[in-house]
Amino acid sequence: MKHLLLLLFALTATTLSAKPREIRFKILETTDVHGNYFPYDYLNQQPGEGSLIRAYSFVKAQRQLMKPQHVLLLDAGDILQGQPSAYYYNFMDTVSQHACASVLNYMQYDAATVGNHDIEAGHAVYDRWTKECRMPMLGANIIRTSTGQPYWRPYTIIKKDGVRFAVLGLLTTGIPNWLPENLWSGMRFDDMVEVARKYMPEMRRQADVVIGLFHSGVGRENATGTKNENASLQVAQQVPGFDLILCGHDHRKANRKIANVNGDSVLVLNTGANAHFVAVADLVVEKNGKKVSVKSATGHLEDIDQWEVNPEMLAHFQPQIDAVKKFTQEVIGHNATELTTRPAFFGPSAFVDFIHQLQLKITGAQISFVAPLSFDARIPVGTIRVSDMFNLYKFENMLYVMQLTGQEIKNFLEYSYAGWTQQMSSPSDHLLLFNDRTINSPESWQRLRTPSYNFDSAAGILYEVDVTKPRGQKITIKSLATGEPFDLKQTYRVAVNSYRGNGGGGLMTEGAGIPREQLVKRVVWSTDKDLRYYLMQEIRQQKDIAPKALNQWKFVPENWTTPAAQRDSITLFQ
């Protein structure tokens, strides 16, 4: 008995004398990489900025500084579209391991969340890719309709130096509004707040630290309602229990603390896009016996362009880099006219009208809708290569023909130009609708209130846009381009990309006034390949192209809009 008492005394004394241990962790996030795996600009055939190979130099340095068990590396989605390197392994070389999976495996990511542009690549691509990735793929609110269970893991538990991290993956719920159903067949996308609230109790039972890894932007302050596109702030505020939220999707950098409904502070980070930055969260965790608590969380965004390319990783992936170079350097035609998106903001342009003409030719439609999908792109006079197609057409959209009435076409255009132009009340006003809060942003595209990929113009009709008139009264359609009368009650065949045809940007639903569930019934024809493929085939067939603006519409009054366009061009692109 005496020996037992002495043993108990010794154990008690040891427990009482043990001091809490502080452990420092770095949580690193990439997001919206959009195929920028390699430090090469395939569009301009020159060394490129950003890239995961450059980011790896920073990641490797942090692992050496902190020891690997004190570093977590995570990705928040949209990594499978946007660069020729992604397109090549999505659709051209489908036998080799996908370069994206190889890169993520090489860098030893701990987990990743799926993004909407990953879904846009289609089942064949993302199902293969996720099987090739060695880290857990997450998506708690991406539900398999046949079972009611998540299509991918809802969350994962990562153990580092005795500390358990739960990482919950969530995806923006807008996919059905943007993408054809065949790309996400068998899935539904539940509200982020509701799903986060569902999994929080079980994650807190299993983990010491809970991290949100969301492909959804920060969003608006005090947002309400369900299924918001950018809902990370909403989750942070309304679902207590998160120690850190890493997000993406909207390409807007963020580093801020959010107070939740319990009054606790949550660190929210967003890196922007294209692997130019890595989000860094510095967590100090106190471990006192079995009890673990987060003592502090601070963050910053590391500028990856200041880091050198990692030479070992570059050498390892040189064969893949060269394979994509060979693909993008293929000559498909010759261009006699420089194509640039800049004039498209201020009137008809050769860049946009070239796509209009091809859409009309491919589909046989009467009218075409097109927006400048690349904010500031240029294809010079001379040889046209495959790489130029990624400047001409940024995303892998299909092409639809939809049936719209003349009134719906007018309403569609009213909505487009209302988000594009302001109502001018004097010649000194802006023509474009700028965002007053961000008009001086170093990121030119953020100066506009509406993303320019929603600036749809039309071809096949002759019309004017009176910028002195209010929303709903700007558009006057004079006739079809053939000279035939335009009838608001008649039904027309309209060529439009699948993003727009599925309701993306709200032009079909809020603008034309077509209920979302009715959109699919309006589609009378669709391509089976992406529009970029058909553009490449058309240029190969023509060999020599000399695009010109169709000049089928204009801004009026011209004595106001012409000088305003000159001023606004400087404001937008300076």
- What is the per-residue pLDDT for 12? 46
Q: Looking at the structure, do residues 81 and 152 belong to the same domain, yes or no?
A: yes
Whether the per-residue pLDDT at 389 is higher than 70: the answer is yes
pLDDT band at 13 (very low <50, low <70, confident <90, very high): very low
In a domain, 8, yes or no: no
Q: Specify the pLDDT at position 528.
A: 82
Give the CA count within 13 Å in the CB-facing half-sphere of 87. Answer: 23
CA distance 196 to 203: 10
Same domain, 129 and 65: yes
272 with 157, same domain?
yes
pLDDT of residue 4: 46
Across 358-380, average pLDDT: 93
Task: Fill in the DSSP letter of residue 453.
Answer: G
The residues that bridge with 282 in the sheet, in sequence order, are 26, 298
Q: What is the 3-state secondary structure of 119-162?
A: HHCCHHHHHHHHHHCCCCEECCCEEECCCCEECCECEEEEEECC
Of 268, 301, 324, which closes a domain?
A: 324
Q: How far apart are CA 180 and CA 372, in angstroms?
A: 21
Write the CATH number for 414: 3.90.780.10
Q: What is the mean pLDDT of the chain?
A: 94
| Domain final residue, candidates 324, 350, 367 | 324
- Confidence check: pLDDT of 7 > 60: no
- For residues 306 and 411, state if they share a domain: no
Indicate whether 5 belongs to any domain. no
Q: Of 268, 291, 324, which one is at a domain's C-terminal end?
A: 324
What residue type is 181 in one-letter code?
E
Closest CA to 544 of 312, 383, 363: 383
Q: Kindly compute the dihedral angle of the four CA atoms of residues 126, 129, 131, 137, in this order, to the nearest 10 degrees.
A: -70
Do residues 314 and 339 both lie within one domain? Answer: no
Q: pTM for the full model?
A: 0.84
Closest Cα to residue 342, out of 297, 310, 372? 372
**pLDDT reported for residue 131:** 97
The total of structural domains in the chain comes to 2
Per-residue pLDDT at 9 exceeds 80: no
7 inside domain: no
Is the model's pLDDT at 357 over the cut of 60?
yes
Average pLDDT over residues 183-211: 97
- Are residues 356 and 299 both part of a single domain? no
Q: Is 87 helix (H, G, I), strand (E, B) or coil?
A: helix
- pLDDT on residue 323: 98
Asked, for residue 12, whether it belongs to a domain, the answer is no
**94 domain residue, yes or no:** yes
- Residues 200-204, mean pLDDT to the nearest whole number: 98
Phi/psi of residue 236, each to 5°? -60, -40
Tell me phi and psi for residue 215, to 5 degrees. -95, 80
- Given a cut of 80, whether residue 2 has pLDDT beyond it is no
In a domain, 4, yes or no: no
Which of 52-56, 260-264, 289-293 shows the lowest per-residue confidence on average (mean pLDDT)?
Answer: 289-293
Residue-number span of the structural domain to which 499 is assigned = 331-573
Q: Does residue 426 belong to any structural domain of this protein?
A: yes
Q: What is the pLDDT of residue 18?
A: 58
Asked if 195 and 306 sit in the same domain, the reply is yes
Please check whether residue 438 lies inside any domain of the structure.
yes
pLDDT-derived band at 14 (thresholds 50, 70, 90) equals very low
Does 294 lie in the same domain as 398?
no
CATH number reported for the structural domain that contains residue 200 in this entry: 3.60.21.10
pLDDT tens for each residue of 399-442 = 999 999 999 999 999 999 999 999 999 999 999 999 998 999 98
Whether residues 218 and 294 fall in one domain: yes
> What's the rounded Cα separation, in Å, for the pair 299 and 268?
8
In the chain, what is the straight-line distance between the N-terminal and C-terminal CA atoms, in Å? 85
Question: Do 28 and 112 belong together in one domain?
Answer: yes
- Do residue 412 and residue 442 come from a single domain? yes
Q: What pLDDT, in 10s, does the model give residues 509-568?
A: 999 999 998 999 999 999 888 888 898 998 999 999 999 999 999 999 999 999 999 999
| Residue 154 and residue 107 share a domain | yes
